[in-house]
Amino acid sequence: MLSLRAIEHGDEPHAPPAAPFGVDGNFDGVAVSVDGAAWYEIQGLRDLRSDTICHCHRRLHSPGV
C-alpha cells in the first residue's frame, strides 16, 4: 500500500508524458516502474487545492503475485 499526503503550492498542473515514459518525466503525480526504465503514472496530482490536504492511497501489486 502506498499512502501519501499532498497539497497544491500555486504552480500550474503538468500532465505526464505518454506511458511508458523514461526517468525524465516531470509532471504532477506519482509513477512506478518495475525495471527503472519504463515508468507509469499510478496517481495523478493535478487537481489538488491549496486549502485542502489530499490523502491518497494506492494498492501496489505485481502480476502473478
Tell me how many degrees the CA angle 27-53-33 measures, rounded to the nearest 5.
35
Q: Are 52 and 9 in contact (CB under 8 A)?
A: no
Q: What is the reported pLDDT for 60?
A: 85
Query: Residue ranges of the domains in the chain?
Result: 1-65
25 Rama class: left (phi>0) / alpha (psi -120 to 50) / beta: beta
Classified as helix, coil or strand, 30 is: strand
> Which residue reads 487545492 in cell numbers?
49
pLDDT digits (tens, 9 = 90+) for 30-59: 999 989 999 999 999 999 999 999 999 998
Q: Is the pLDDT of residue 65 over 60?
A: no
